[in-house]
Chains A and B, each alone.
Chain A
Amino acid sequence: MAAGWFNLSRMAVHHLIIQGKVASTDFILCKAAIWRSCQGINNKCFLQSVRHVTFINKQTSVDIWKSATGVSNVGRKRGRARSSRRFVDLNKNRKLGEGREGMQWPGLNSPVFSRKDGREVNKLKVLPPNPEKQEELIKLREQSMKRKGRKISPLHRGWTGNKLPGTSIGCPDPVEDYTFEGFDTSVLEFKRVSSMTGTMGRRSRFSAFVVTGNGNGLAGYGIGKAPNGRSALRMAMNRAAQHLIYVDRYENKTVFHNFFVAFHKTRLFVEKKEQGYGLVCHRALKTIAQKIGIQDLYCKVEGSTRNIQSLTKAFFEGLRRQETHQELADRLSLHVVEYRPEMDNIPRVVASPMSNVREKREDGEEEVDFETLYYSGRLPFRKPKQEPFYSKYQSFERKMRQEYKRRNQPDALRLRIVHGLQPDYEVNRPKTKKQ
């Protein structure tokens, strides 16, 4: 019994030391205090001379943790701090006086005097053990150690991972009275760039390349550089708002015609598409098109697809140089007529010339091919679809011959089931274990 409580008292003192609240020099003093408080229950207390001088009670918990997890300044600069173990606060949620075994310490974790009359002194008490307490503490500690990441909706995450490109950063700052209402900005490129200076050596900054637009034809792009990423983004966004252009769109859906445009090594072949086709193009172009308000588009990029800035500049240039149907009709003095397959290919006049229409063509004059009219003599390279390697194997031919006989069977089966001519075995099939 006596040895038991002594161990407990040792534990309590260690507890205090680890918490960093009591220095190890106060050890004896502390022990005496505890001894005094428990005199009431045990008169046969004895003191044994023990030297507790190890590093564990000489150092504070902070120092001890540093010895295990610390990284030197040099190491920190080299990035070693990243991979080192993190400091764990073992005393998190733990109250002073609580240990592995339940104890009631008057004056420490319970009042000194009893509540009844206020005269009787509370006595040291051993409480029944609580085995779940320790697990609970560990659980609480682990919970508080976990990082809480902010959940972003999949539509607002960027193109990839936790990166900025593709994310939206709001509308530009107002200029005098004009607030950019309805505008939205998307990051296209965000990177760290550096330059050498005579006085400061390598000077690195953040470079942000963004596009802003109202989704209704008005859009612009801008670049900003600043030592701080946030201010670089802001600078780029406000510059983009200063360089807006208006893009004419066909039926507010797509471009007026197919066109070719190049900027440095980046070459774009943009195709006009029917309603409901969607944006089938490079992800940066898709973001730009969304900001402009183009909904249906196909684009093939030849050359550099990684140079986002060239890509953007080429796309904007191509859009700017478009010829509307009205302009085309005026240029040729002919009607521009549209044929849509879903409308039985009836002719629909989309533009007529302002001045006189030509009655007849000149001799030998051929009709212009609208598809390739704005490709400036180029055509996109369309890679023919390669047949799979096994397509010429005899075994494959044999298989195809066998399947040819059964080619209509699945559809016929489905029809029979639909019309109730045959029971649906799939529905009533008992579940079998896979072997």
Chain B
Amino acid sequence: MRLTRICRLLTQGFTRNQYLRTSGRFISCTSIRSDEILTSGGFTKASEERDPLPLFLSEEVQTWLQKMTGFDIEKICAPKPFEADKPTYRQLTQDELEKEKQRAIQIAKRRLQMPPVMKIRDGSFEVLQKDPGLNMFSNAKHVFTDISFGLKDRKRLIVVREPDGTLRTATGKERDRLNHVYFPEDGRAPVMPQMFEEEYLETILEKGKYRYILDRACVQFDPDDPEFIRVTHRTYEVVCERHQFDVLRSTRHFGPMAFYFAWYKKIEPLLTDMVQRDLLTDGVNLIKLYFKMHQELSSTEVLEENIDELHIIKNFCEKMVKNPNYKGQLQLAIQAYEAALPLQAKHSQS
């Protein structure tokens, strides 16, 4: 009786939960109606790719990316577009002010935490049991979720009993949905908002709201969600096309963006921007990252020992850049930098 009621409610788009307590664990049962029928293992396309996560999390790469990001505290903590409140004032001694400044740096560092770069999760699942006796027990799938306290969303056990009696683990999409039902994230919509759909995404990017869409994607998706990867990659592409890298400096998205360009071997526009903005150290770090990722390329020609930053970039331009368009732009930027060097020296002397 209860089951039919649950099913009837589900056809109207509602969910009803029923809590069971078994051996100290809280297991919740939800029935979901879904058109997709999964019977065999999922696609393995994503698993063929190289996993960028270990490289991204390595200490050396993190340091390079953090240095590239920059640390403009006024930009990191710029006024947010929500309702302001009245400011408070304090009168501080020198010691107290130093402590407060340290606290501000900690706040800003937290704001700059980079979202991890991961490969697309595979849609595979594991069949745990096939029970023909349960065939057609219901016309909806029943999902069992471990909602015990202290479990992480990615570790939580979620299994699905198909109407044909198959018991299997849940796919990534199902996991997202169920996790959101029991442990909703603040700001995450239950269904993907339309702005992430391709046509609407283009209009937002056209307006130059890169930071907004990236921030919003971090809230909405897990970092290995195919949608997250699609949205972020498209945004990086548009930023590169328009040469607007500076918008993302001092934000948490600059590191993953640089990582993306290095991963797909198109660092030239970003490198040009760094030379134009007199950020040669960043440029060298980017080149180092590039060679660390692609160890099949020999870095000995470019990263010679005991040469200065400008020469490394020059070497890179000459030996590694194939695209004539990119090469021309980078050469121009280097020439402009060299032309401005004597002026800079004079300025610093006076």
Which residues of chain A from 335 to 369 have any CB-CB distance to chain B below 8 Å in the complex? 335-347, 349-350, 357-361, 367-368
- For residue B35, CB closer than 8 A to chain A, the reply is no
- Chain A proximity mask over B59-84: 1 for CB below 8 Å, otherwise 0: 00000000000000100011110111
Given contacts A344-B111, A346-B73, A346-B107, contact A336 B89 (CB under 8 A): yes
Structural contact, A337 and B86, CB atoms closer than 8 A? no
Chain B contacts of A347 at CB under 8 A? 90, 92, 97, 100-101, 103-104
Structural contact, A274 and B85, CB atoms closer than 8 A? yes
Residues of B within 8 A of A (CB-CB), count = 31
Tell me how far the C-beta of A367 lies from the nearest C-beta in chain B, rounded to whole angstroms: 6
Structural contact, A273 and B86, CB atoms closer than 8 A? yes
Chain B contacts of A274 at CB under 8 A? 84-87
Q: Among A332, A416, A421, A422, which residue has its beta carbon within 8 angstroms of that of B91? A: A332
Given contacts A335-B97, A346-B77, contact A415 B89 (CB under 8 A): no
Structural contact, B91 and A370, CB atoms closer than 8 A? yes
- For residue B37, CB closer than 8 A to chain A, the reply is no
- For residue A334, CB closer than 8 A to chain B, the reply is yes
Chain B contacts of A343 at CB under 8 A? 77-80
**Cα distance A272–B97 when bound, in Å?**
23
Structural contact, A338 and B190, CB atoms closer than 8 A? no
Given contacts A337-B100, A338-B87, A344-B107, contact A421 B93 (CB under 8 A): no
Tell me how far the C-beta of A346 lies from the nearest C-beta in chain B, rounded to whole angstroms: 4
Structural contact, A338 and B13, CB atoms closer than 8 A? no
* Interface size range on A against B: 35 or more
- Chain A proximity mask over B94-112: 1 for CB below 8 Å, otherwise 0: 1101001101100110010
Chain B contacts of A349 at CB under 8 A? 97
**Cα distance A344–B105 when bound, in Å?**
11
Main SS class of interface, A: loop
Structural contact, A336 and B107, CB atoms closer than 8 A? no
Chain B contacts of A345 at CB under 8 A? 107
Structural contact, B108 and A339, CB atoms closer than 8 A? no
Chain B contacts of A328 at CB under 8 A? 91
Residue of A272, A328, A339 with highest tally of chain B CB at under 10 A: A339
- Number of CB contacts from chain A to chain B under 8 A: 102
Chain B contacts of A416 at CB under 8 A? 13
**Cα distance A357–B93 when bound, in Å?**
7
- Closest partner residue, chain B, to A420 (CB atom): B191
- For residue B46, CB closer than 8 A to chain A, the reply is no
- For residue B349, CB closer than 8 A to chain A, the reply is no
Tell me how far the C-beta of A236 lies from the nearest C-beta in chain B, rounded to whole angstroms: 36
Known pairs A339-B89, A421-B191; list 6 more (Cβ under 8 Å).
A277-B84, A277-B86, A335-B97, A337-B89, A347-B97, A360-B95
Chain A contacts of B103 at CB under 8 A? 347
- For residue B88, CB closer than 8 A to chain A, the reply is yes
**Cα distance A361–B93 when bound, in Å?**
7
Residue of A275, A342, A357 with highest tally of chain B CB at under 10 A: A342
**Cα distance A419–B83 when bound, in Å?**
27
Structural contact, A360 and B93, CB atoms closer than 8 A? yes
Chain B contacts of A334 at CB under 8 A? 91-93
- For residue A276, CB closer than 8 A to chain B, the reply is yes
Chain B contacts of A367 at CB under 8 A? 90-91
Structural contact, B82 and A342, CB atoms closer than 8 A? yes
Structural contact, A358 and B93, CB atoms closer than 8 A? yes
Which residues of chain B from 35 to 72 have any CB-CB distance to chain A below 8 Å in the complex? none
- For residue B189, CB closer than 8 A to chain A, the reply is yes
**Closest 7 A-B residue pairs measured CB to CB?**
A346-B104, A419-B191, A370-B89, A347-B100, A334-B91, A344-B77, A341-B85
Chain A contacts of B94 at CB under 8 A? 335, 357-359
Tell me how far the C-beta of B13 lies from the nearest C-beta in chain A, rounded to whole angstroms: 5
Chain A contacts of B95 at CB under 8 A? 359-360
**Cα distance A335–B77 when bound, in Å?**
21
Structural contact, B13 and A422, CB atoms closer than 8 A? yes
Tell me how far the C-beta of B232 lies from the nearest C-beta in chain A, rounded to whole angstroms: 22
**Cα distance A277–B84 when bound, in Å?**
9
- Chain B proximity mask over A320-335: 1 for CB below 8 Å, otherwise 0: 0000000011001011
Q: Can you identify 6 A-B contacts, CB atoms within 8 angstroms? A: A271-B86, A272-B86, A338-B89, A342-B82, A347-B103, A358-B93
Chain A contacts of B189 at CB under 8 A? 415, 419
